[in-house]
Chains A and B, each alone.
Chain A
Amino acid sequence: MRKYTNGAEFGDLSYWTSTSGTVTANSTTKRSGAYSYYFSSTTPYASKSIVPMSEFYYRFVVYMTSVAGSNYRILTWKTAGSTNAGSLRVDTLGRLNIYDYSGLSVASTTRSLKANQWNLIEVHLIMHDTVGKVEVKLNTILEVSYTGPTTSSSYPCNALEHGRMAHYLDDIALNDTDGSVNNSWCGDGHLEILKPDGNGDVIQWSPNTGLNWQAVDEVPPDNDTTYVMTSGIGIQDMYSVGAYVGTGKIISQIWAEAIAKDNAATGSGILKLGFKTGGSVFLSSGVFLSSVYDSIVGDFTLINPVTLSGWTADDLNNIQVVIESD
């Protein structure tokens, strides 16, 4: 089951749980969509908390002007208490080295990363103190498979950290092993977005200024400058979105995503996200809103639930993104 996907397309750092140093959303060098994340040197890093998992498949894509590292830790998997359980490091030849929890290099790729191009990296991780596993694919080819302790105890991974080397990062995805699809290697994937470009079939929220769609179309988000709001329950807004260019693309999945908050100190506000297609509305389960703006992710939807076929450009050119208060 797909658990996380992100391509920096909000043009901000809302995906990350925490960052340190100069981490930015960069619109100049990106693999797909309009943004990537940029780590300016060996100092900055960004950490993403995840639901604790003992096994998962992870994808990320990096671009470096120089791939020669001094065992720089571009990916670190962590356990409770932000303890480093292992890492993927770049050596002086640009190869990816697997480091275990004790800080020892236990395996390496044969091939090296290539400078000035995007490198697709996939990792299969099983957290275990004796029979753990780390497998690494580079540009879809399995390069190395390590079996052994991947954590000092059988703790699940609860955070992933990127950075510690100057590079651009894009097209992140994480699958766990549940379900019948998206339960293994993430494979190649490109991420882009469609922004609101008009009011849709239902408009019930209140904009603080202008038209409703104009209050929610900003990338990066402008927070309290323009927004829609409601205190009600079951209140919907729908927005048409910009044109999708689908030439040469197979759509793997779509989902709605928002930056939202609840002003109440109790944080009891709930938001549902989804879309209207083929005359029907499909919404996610309600997600509790924080008292500060944060990203809310709708359901990853692999096929059009009306046609029961893969998504088409025509589907997306007629889709409306939907928000509903709960």
Chain B
Amino acid sequence: MPPENRATVVDILVETQDITKRVTATDILVETRSIIESRATVADIMVETQEITDNAKHVTSVLIYIEWHYPQSKCMVQMI
């Protein structure tokens, strides 16, 4: 590493202090509560599913239509 990019003693002290800043039990409780409170309930999932279904495009039948005609220039005479 070039000398000008070397970490200083101050850099090392700051970094060490960040590492040693431990997570407290309160932090964990708050975080856990937050996770629990933000979880989707079964009702949420049912509502969401219903919305997906209700917004769906439905096709119940599809087909190819064909229009045709008889070949032209044919004269038919029926003897009676």
Q: Which of A251-267 contact B (CB under 8 A)?
A: 251-264
**Further pairs besides A193-B64, A229-B53: 14, Cβ < 8 Å:** A9-B63, A188-B70, A189-B67, A191-B67, A192-B68, A231-B55, A249-B69, A250-B69, A250-B71, A253-B67, A255-B65, A258-B59, A263-B57, A263-B58
B interface with A by C-beta (< 8 Å): 52-72
Nearest CB on A from B49, distance (A): 11
B60 to chain A: which residues have CB within 8 Å? Answer: 215-216, 218, 221-227, 259-261, 293
Interface segment among A64-72, A99-107, A318-326: the answer is: A318-326
**Residue contact B69 to A239, C-beta cutoff 8 Å:** no
Residues of chain A at the chain B interface (Cβ within 8 Å): 5, 7, 9-10, 173, 187-196, 205, 215-231, 237, 239, 241, 244, 246, 248-264, 269-271, 273, 275, 289, 293, 311, 316, 319, 321, 323, 325
Give chain B nearest CB distance to A203 CB in angstroms.
Answer: 13
Complex CA gap A188/B67 in Å reads 10
Chain B facing A: main interface SS: strand
* In the A-B complex, the 3 residue pairs with the closest CB atoms: A221-B61, A229-B56, A258-B62
- Residue from A222, A254, A262, A264 in contact with B64 in the complex, judged by beta carbons closer than 8 Å: A254
- A196–B68 CB distance below 8 A: no
- List, in ascending order, chain A residues with CB within 8 A of B67's CB: 5, 173, 189-191, 251-254
